[in-house]
Each structure stands twice: as structure tokens, then as C-alpha cells.
Amino acid sequence: MVQLGLVVAQYDKHGAVIEEMEHGAYEAAADNDAEIVASIDVPGSYDTPLAADRLARRSDIDAVAVLGAIISGDTDHDQVIGNAAAQGLTDVSLDRDTPVTLGIIGPGMSQDEAEARTDKGASAVRSAIELATELEQ
């Protein structure tokens, strides 16, 4: 059984996008004979790399899935946050030799687009399971 860590960025200014993504992540783990053994909530997507690193260090975690939503604002700040989070998570994966999957939706999307992409929580977990299984062989 694959054991996963889950990082959930709680920033969602207009609704239940994160809640739905997290629910989908837990369902995907159960449906694919995996278990989420630890979960860390962080304020926003920018904060996810440190939490992912803490989970990736644990010997009981095979892979980490990261969830978040970056909604467009009036400036390009969403692009900065998205780029920083993606690069930070890539660094964690390579530094820890542990799969870290990117289930952060956005940047550059509206609230409606975010609501249409809540399935990315489940997708990030399935990808983490696949990577952990493949790399274990």
C-alpha cells in the first residue's frame, strides 16, 4: 500500500474549491489502495514547498500530493505565486528523491474555472500513487 503525505493550501477567497479538492484526494487514495498518513494545511500555495519538504523527509511517506488554488487578481501576483510554488515543489522532489505532485490549479484562472477543476485534487493523488509505485520497482 502506498502511503502519502498531503499538503493543502487553504487560500480560497470565494468558496469551497479547496474543500472539494481535498475530498477528491481522500477518495482517490481510498479507491487506489493508498493511504494518506499525514496532512498539513498551510495558508496558501506559496507556503506549500516547506510543508511538502517536511512530509517528504518522513520514512513512512512514499509520495506527497500538493493541493491549492490560485485565482487571478488585479495584478500579476498570481503568476509570481504559481511560479514560486512550482519551482519550490520541484526542488523538494529532486532534493528528497520523493515524488511530489502538483495539484495546484491556476494561476490565471477565474473562480468559475477553479470550480470546474476541483478534480485536480484526485488527479494529484493518482499521479503520486503512480509515481511512487513506478519508482519503487
pLDDT at 14: 64
Tell me the whole-structure pTM to 2 decimals.
Answer: 0.95
Give the residue among 126, 137, 105, 130 at the shortest CA–CA distance from 20: 105
Is the distance from CB of 116 to CB of 52 less than 8 angstroms?
no
Q: Which three cell numbers stand for residue 136?
A: 519503487
Cα 67 from Cα 6, distance rounded (Å): 8
Instruction: Kindly name the residue from 43, 73, 77, 87 that is annotated as catalytic.
Output: 77
The tens-digit pLDDT sequence of the chain (137 residues) is 999 999 999 987 667 999 999 999 999 999 999 999 999 999 999 999 999 999 999 999 999 999 999 988 778 889 999 999 999 999 999 999 999 999 999 998 888 999 999 999 999 999 999 999 999 87
| CA torsion angle 116 122 126 132 (round to 10) | 120
Catalytic annotation present for 23: no
